[in-house]
Amino acid sequence: MERGGVSGGGAGSIMKSVLTDLPADKVQEHFEDLLTRPGVKLERIVTYGQATPPGEWYDQAWDEWVMIVQGEAKLLMARDEQLLHMKPGDHVLLPAHCRHRVEWTPEGQTTIWLALHLGEPVD
């Protein structure tokens, strides 16, 4: 079966890859919803050397699980100032209100993340 074709998962199922159809714009990071259900959202995040702006922190009211699929990143946890150097296959659960920030992704390289938001209000 070819990528992008109908898979055996049922009528209308389309198989895709998180490694293809990457955004051409490398000036900013990109967020793409892959799946949304009540209280659950799975997104692909593509970065090209971006990091969280200085002084800013993520502080969400829901749990988030993130995994590096391709590339690498350094994620800083505010609670204990732990710096996680994440590489392909590495993942971490960020509990609700766990302040964190992306300190670094390598310039000139593509970093692909999967982020699973649990309990986030979905429109």
CATH number of the domain that 62 lies in?
2.60.120.10
Q: Average pLDDT for residues 8-36, to the nearest whole number?
A: 87
Range of the domain at 70: 41-118
- Number of helical H runs and strand E runs in the chain: 0, 8
Query: Is residue 66 domain-resident?
Result: yes
Domain assignment present for residue 30? The answer is no
Please report the pLDDT score of residue 12 as a whole number: 67
Q: What percent of the chain has pLDDT over 70?
A: 89
10 pLDDT band (50/70/90 cuts)? low
Domain count, the chain: 1
CA-based angle 93:98:104, to the nearest 5? 75
Strands (E), 2-121: 30-37, 40-47, 63-70, 73-77, 82-86, 91-94, 100-104, 111-118
pLDDT band per the 50, 70, 90 thresholds, residue 6: very low
Chain segment 60-72, per-residue pLDDT in tens? 999 999 999 999 9
Is residue 65 within 8 A of residue 116, CB to CB? The reply is: yes
pLDDT of residue 104: 98
97 has pLDDT over 90: yes
Does 108 fall in a domain?
yes
Does residue 59 sit within a domain?
yes
Residue 68 domain-assigned (yes or no): yes
Q: Does 82 reside within a domain?
A: yes
Model-level pTM?
Answer: 0.85
Q: Is 52 within a domain?
A: yes
* Inside any domain, residue 22: no
Q: Look at residue 14 in the predicted model and tell me its pLDDT.
A: 87
What is residue 13's predicted lDDT score, i.e. its pLDDT? 81
